[in-house]
Amino acid sequence: MKLQWTADLSVSNDRIDKEHQRWIELFNNFYNGIAEGRPKEKLEELILGMLDYTKYHFKSEEEYMRSVNYPGLAEHQESHNAFIKRVEEFHQKITSGKLILSLEVTNFLKIWLIDHIKGSDLQYARFAQNK
């Protein structure tokens, strides 16, 4: 279930690749917390940390897309905003006791993360390389 950085996740930008590697590390910490049965408060802290880093990373990535005049920026931002909203909903439900952290949550995060990098992010990477 853990994620591992592989060359096919590279967007050919060292800064963004490092941010993606950090994002994967945060996901793995969260996954390990669930697998190890850490207390709810610790898991809340881990998901909040991942959410905060996600917001930082998305802002950084969007600034890069602006700098290369990427035409798909608005659509990419919509995808980012939808993901943030979903994770905020998870966090809210977790803190209110309406959601138990489970493989369903980690599967959503894992699939979204990999699909987003290999899909949307590689599109702007190709655009920037062909400029």
**Rounded Cα gap, residues 122 and 106, in angstroms:** 23
Distance CA 40, CA 72 (A): 38
Average pLDDT over residues 25-41: 85
Q: Is the pLDDT of residue 101 over 70?
A: no
The pTM of this model reads 0.89
- Does 2 reside within a domain? no
Domain range for 27? 7-129
| Gap between the Cα atoms of 50 and 27, Å rounded | 7
Residue 36's CATH number: 1.20.120.50
The answer to the question of residue 1 being in a domain is: no
What pLDDT does residue 38 have? Answer: 81
**Residue 114 belongs to a domain:** yes
* Domain assignment present for 41: yes
